[in-house]
Amino acid sequence: MNQYYDNQPTKSSVPDHDVIMRGRKLLDITGVKQVESFDNEEFLLETSMGFLAIKGQNLTMKNLDVEKGIVSIKGKIFDLVYLDEQHGEKAKGFFSKLFR
């Protein structure tokens, strides 16, 4: 008898995380756990795949659905960066600048 084991996490344990950019001016992000901070030049989001920093110009939050973990950001997008534990120095520098 062959048995099949699905090693993929279930939807209930890890929410799906997608980043969809439209024309470098509209960003839809799913799997957002928390919005840590934001202003017109930078957003810091905690997602199911780690912290995501978004840098740009004239950034505004177009949509926020906390229940579903969806964030929409409008503006000119310059940079999307995941802050991983592997890049601790970069993340530490980023956080030190953020919380001065």
| pTM: predicted TM-score of the whole model, two decimal places | 0.71
Residue among 27, 19, 17 at smallest CA distance from 73: 27
Q: Say how many domains are in the chain.
A: 1
Q: Give the pLDDT score at 15.
A: 73
56: domain CATH number is: 2.60.40.2000
> Do residues 77 and 23 make contact, with C-beta atoms less than 8 angstroms apart?
no
95 within a domain of the structure (yes/no): yes
10 within a domain of the structure (yes/no): no
Return averaged pLDDT per consecutive 10 residues of the chain, 100 residues in all: 53 75 95 94 94 96 92 96 67 57
14 within a domain of the structure (yes/no): no
Range of the domain at 33: 19-99
Longest dimension (CA), the chain: 61
9 within a domain of the structure (yes/no): no
Q: How far apart are CA 22 and CA 18, in angstroms?
A: 13
Q: Give the pLDDT score at 51.
A: 95
